[in-house]
Structure 1
Amino acid sequence: MLEIAVLGLLNESPMHGYELRKRLATLLGTFRAFSYGSLYPTLRRLSEAGWIQDEEPDELTAGAVRSRRGKRVYRLTADGKEHLAELLADVGPDAFDDEGFGARLAFFAQTRSDIRLQILEGRRRRVEEQRDGMRSTLRRGDLGERFDRYTRELHEHGLESVDREVRWLDELIEHERTDGTTENR
Structure 2
Amino acid sequence: MLELAILGLLQEAPMHGYELRKELATKLGTLRAAISYGTLYPTLKRLKLAGWISEAETNSDIIPPMTSKRGRVVYKITAEGKERFADLLTQTGPETYDDTGFGVHFTFFSRTDRATRLRILEGRRRRVEERREGLREVLARAADRLDAYTLELQRHGLDACEREVRWLEELITNERSGRAPSHSRLGSAGASSSEPTAKPAAGMDTPPEPPRPHLDRP
Superposed pair shares fold, TM > 0.5? yes
Give the conservation status (yes or no) of the 8 Å contact 2:58–2:73: yes
> 2 CA distance for matches of 1:39 and 1:83?
18
Q: What is the aligned-residue identity percentage? A: 56
State the Cα deviation string for residues 39-71 of structure 1 (Å, max 9, x = none).
Answer: 11111111111111111126xxxxxxx896571
Tell me whether 1:127 sits opposite 2:119 in the alignment: no
Contact 1:28–1:34 (CA under 8 A) maintained in structure 2: no
Post-superposition offset of 1:31: 3.5
* Contact 1:96 1:122 survives alignment (8 Å): yes
- Which one scores higher on RCO, CA 8 angstroms, separation ≥ 6? 1
Deviation at 1:137, TM superposition (A): 1.6
| Structure 1 position 179, deviation (Å) | 1.5
1:117-175 CA distances to partner (integer Å, 9 max, x unpaired)? 100000000000110111122122x2322x21211111001100111111111111111
Residue of structure 2 in register with 1:6 after alignment: 6
Aligned-residue Cα RMSD (Å) equals 1.9
| Alignment partner of 1:48 is 2:49 | yes
- Aligned amino acid, residue 127 of structure 1: V
- 1:23-172 pair list within 5 angstroms: 23-36=23-36, 37-57=38-58, 69=63, 71-140=72-141, 142-145=142-145, 147-172=146-171
Runs (5+) with no aligned partner, structure 1:
59-65
Structure 2 unaligned regions, length at least 5: 64-70, 181-218
Q: 2 CA distance for matches of 1:13 and 1:3?
A: 16
CA contact (8 A) 1:14 1:74 kept: yes
Match of 2:212 in 1: none
Q: TM-score, normalised by structure 2?
A: 0.74
After TM superposition, the structure 1 stretch with the greater mean CA deviation from structure 2, 118-127 or 7-16, is 7-16
Which amino acid in the other structure matches residue 139 of structure 1? Answer: A
Distance 1:108 1:28 in 2: 13
Cα distance between partner residues in 2 of 1:18 and 1:177: 39
Moved over 2 A (4+): 66-70
Name the larger-Rg structure: 2
- Which residue in 2 is equivalent to 1:20? 20
Question: How far 1:105 moved relative to its partner?
Answer: 0.5
* Secondary structure at the counterpart of residue 32 of structure 2: coil
Higher helix share: 1
User: Residues 176 and 31 (structure 1 numbering): CA distance in 2 closer, same or farther, change over 3 Å?
Assistant: farther
3-state SS in 2 of match to 1:166: helix
